[in-house]
Amino acid sequence: METQLQAWAAAGALDAKALERGLEIAGVRPSADRWKAFIERLLLVAGALLLGAALIFFIAANWAEMSRVTKISLLAAAVALAAGGGILAGPSSWPGRSGLIAATLFTGGLLAFIGQTYQTGADPWQLFAAWAVLCVPWAIAAGWAPLWSVLLVIANVAMALYLQQDTRPRWFGPRFEAATALFILDAGALAIAEMWGPKGEFRLLPRLAAGIALGCATFMTVSFLWDVRGSNAEGPLLFALSIGVAYIVYRRLRVDLMILSMACLASIVVVATALARITSRSYEPGMFLFIAAVVVGMSAGSAIWLRSIAREEESKPS
């Protein structure tokens, strides 16, 4: 739409004022009311997060003078007030969402305090897993992508900590890597987010899940190329699968330039790593120049390709 409006302006069909108004109506340039609503929501969420930080600093500053009962009471009261306020304000409203995301952060602080103070015997991964599970009802009630994204990050941390243990479940296998488990977790989260997840907030949830999954596949592929201990061929297979699925789904079925950009970046990293591995025993300056030229060429080609897709989408009738 932006390209079409600018073409009309260049042809003389629209003057500067009409072009600005057209861009505003098309949503390319937000109006004053949209800016106002955005700033209000941003300050509301930032205020909730700052209140959470204030509570943490208050407890830290008065740690020596406060008893265990006082500390845990303050944290529990913060969770209850934030969650209760969020539910009463309406979980799908912005004040409600702000309260629920603050309650989610307070819950993590409460669990961490209980685990450190009372020595429950729980491993760190269990605290993170409990944190994610306890906050799922609030995320369901809010239906808000940023809150689900926070829970996805917490779940990833829990999974990573779990797989760092010396004892692993037998069905994982002796060579099962944490990166593979995280890839499966985030690929599943991506599929669920695309089918049933919230669609607003700049598609934050599916993009976050896709970014972590691609990052894990890229990490495993780079490890395999450099023969890092414990790496195996599943990395390149998952990487190839990720790139293929990203192209089919986010180029053919529904265009998402952000995820396609991630796929291009991951491809550049893997190709550069493969070339560096092949030429690792050669110290000829020309080899390094060749790798640099390939990286520059792939980056330029990716930019041209992504820009062509963006123009194609802009030219489609809304």
pLDDT at residue 2 is higher than 70 = no
* Residue 169 pLDDT level (bands cut at 50, 70, 90): low
What's the rounded mean pLDDT across residues 292-308?
Answer: 96
pLDDT at residue 70 is higher than 70 = yes
* Residue 294 pLDDT level (bands cut at 50, 70, 90): very high
How many Å apart are CA 303 and CA 267, to the nearest integer?
Answer: 13
Is 17 part of any domain?
no
Higher pLDDT, 168 or 229: 229
Number of domains into which the chain is organized: 1
Is 136 part of any domain?
no
Is 310 part of any domain?
yes
**Residue 316: its pLDDT value, please?**
73
Higher pLDDT, 282 or 104: 104
In this structure, of 105-114, 124-133, 251-260, 279-288, the range with the lowest mean pLDDT score is 279-288
Mean pLDDT of the chain: 84
**Residue 129: its pLDDT value, please?**
94
Q: Mind listing the pLDDT tens digit for each residue in 24-69?
A: 665 556 667 778 888 888 888 888 878 877 877 777 777 677 788 8
Tell me the CA distances in angstroms from 13 to 9, 21, 122, 300, one per residue in order.
6, 14, 69, 34
Is 8 part of any domain?
no
How many Å apart are CA 102 and CA 110, to the nearest integer?
Answer: 12
Is 55 part of any domain?
no
DSSP string of the chain, one letter each residue: -HHHHHHHHHTTSS-HHHHHHHHHHTTSS--HHHHHHHHHHHHHHHHHHHHHHHHHHHHHHTTTTS-HHHHHHHHHHHHHHHHHHHHHH-TTSHHHHHHHHHHHHHHHHHHHHHHHHH-----HHHHHHHHHHHHHHHHHHHT-HHHHHHHHHHHHHHHHHHHTSS---GGG-TT--HHHHHHHHHHHHHHHHHHHS---GGGHHHHHHHHHHHHHHHHHHHHHHTT-TT--THHHHHHHHHHHHHHIIIIIIS--HHHHHHHHHHHHHHHHHHHHHHTTT---HHHHHHHHHHHHHHHHHHHHHHHHHHHHHHHS--
Neighbours of 124 (CB within 10 A): 15
Percent of the chain's residues with pLDDT above 70: 81
How many Å apart are CA 244 and CA 248, to the nearest integer?
Answer: 6
Is 179 part of any domain?
yes
Is 70 part of any domain?
no
What's the rounded mean pLDDT across residues 71-95?
Answer: 90
Percent of the chain's residues with pLDDT above 90: 44
**Cβ-defined contacts of 279-282 (< 8 Å, 24+):** none
Is 177 part of any domain?
yes
Domain that holds residue 220: 168-318
State both tokens at 22: 């057209």
